[in-house]
């Protein structure tokens, strides 16, 4: 997968999966733009001194103004990978309107606004690739029991991906998503100490799927929400 002379946006680039994606992109020659909300994210970002990385912030990805301003400064993006989001556990009895709206903003609205801004830039440059991140409960809603606000927000990302996959094919913009199960990250291991981590997909493995979908090697796949479950 050759990303030389291609610019890629990665939202959520400072997270566990985001770091694996950024590392893979750099290894394959890409230039990468990573928006951040909090200064601490930029300070701990391990690739901040890399000359092919552009950090920009603070950027609120749920703000149309912030998102449009950020993408206006990205030179001819080839791909836009949308990993930013958040998780909220809790049954419906304890999940109020504010929590629901926050999940929708973090997971769906941010993805929608980034897709919208990326499409405008890619149409101007002749095409590109968009990769979103859904989640297993988006494809298997019963797994969203006890986290229904999160599941609904990720289901919206999956539906958006499929709709845009159809809408944008004529523009040469292929839109896809991955749907991970529980990722093998230090945070997830800490919160579930008795789980069998060997069954969980590794961030590097999921990143490899994202890189393919974002690459020029992907010539035909669009509107897909790809399960990346490992053996879980």
pLDDT (mean) for 181-189: 88
Which tens digit of pLDDT belongs to each residue from 190-205?
989 989 988 988 999 9
CATH code 3.30.390.50 for 7-228? no
What average pLDDT does the chain have?
Answer: 96
pLDDT tier, 45 (very low <50, low <70, confident <90, very high otherwise): very high
pLDDT in the model for residue 145: 97
Mean of the pLDDT values across residues 103-115?
A: 98
Whole-prediction pTM:
0.96
Residue 191: per-residue pLDDT: 86
Q: What is the DSSP annotation of the chain?
A: ---TT-EEEEETTTSHHHHHHHHHHHHTT-EEEEE-SSHHHHHH-TTTT-TTEEEE-S--TT-HHHHHHHHHTSSSEEEEEE---------GGG--HHHHHHHIIIIIIHHHHHHHHHHHHHHHHT-EEEEEE--HHHHSGGGGTT-HHHHHHHHHHHHHHHHHHHHSGGGTEEEEEEEE-S-B-HHHHHH-TTS-GGGSPBHHHHHHHHHHHHSTT--S--S-EEEE-TT-
Residue 82 pLDDT: 98
Q: Given a cut of 90, is residue 1 above it in pLDDT?
A: no
pLDDT at position 116 over 90: yes
Q: Per-domain residue ranges for the chain?
A: 7-228
pLDDT for 232 beyond 90: no
């Amino acid at each position: 997968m050759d990303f030389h002379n291609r610019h890629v946006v990665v939202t959520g680039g400072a997270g566990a999966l985001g770091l694996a994606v950024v590392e893979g992109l750099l290894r394959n020659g890409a230039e990468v733009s990573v928006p951040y909300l909090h200064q601490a994210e930029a300070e701990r970002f391990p690739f901040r001194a890399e000359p092919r990385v552009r950090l920009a912030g603070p950027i609120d990805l749920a703000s149309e103004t912030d998102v449009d301003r950020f993408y206006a400064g990205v030179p001819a993006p080839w791909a836009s990978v949308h990993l930013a989001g958040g998780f909220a556990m809790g049954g419906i009895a304890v999940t109020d309107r504010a929590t629901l709206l926050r999940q929708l903003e973090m997971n769906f609205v941010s993805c929608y606004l980034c897709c919208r801004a990326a499409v405008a830039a890619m149409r101007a440059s002749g095409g590109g690739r968009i990769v979103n991140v859904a989640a297993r409960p988006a494809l298997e809603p019963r797994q969203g029991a006890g986290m229904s606000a999160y599941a609904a927000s990720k289901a919206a990302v999956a539906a958006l991906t499929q709709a845009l996959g159809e809408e944008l094919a004529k523009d040469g913009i292929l839109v896809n998503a991955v749907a991970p199960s529980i990722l093998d990250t230090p945070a997830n291991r800490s919160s579930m100490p008795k789980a069998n981590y060997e069954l969980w997909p590794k961030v590097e493995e999921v990143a490899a799927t994202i890189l393919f979908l974002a690459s020029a090697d992907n010539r035909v796949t669009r509107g897909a929400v790809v399960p990346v479950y490992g053996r879980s």
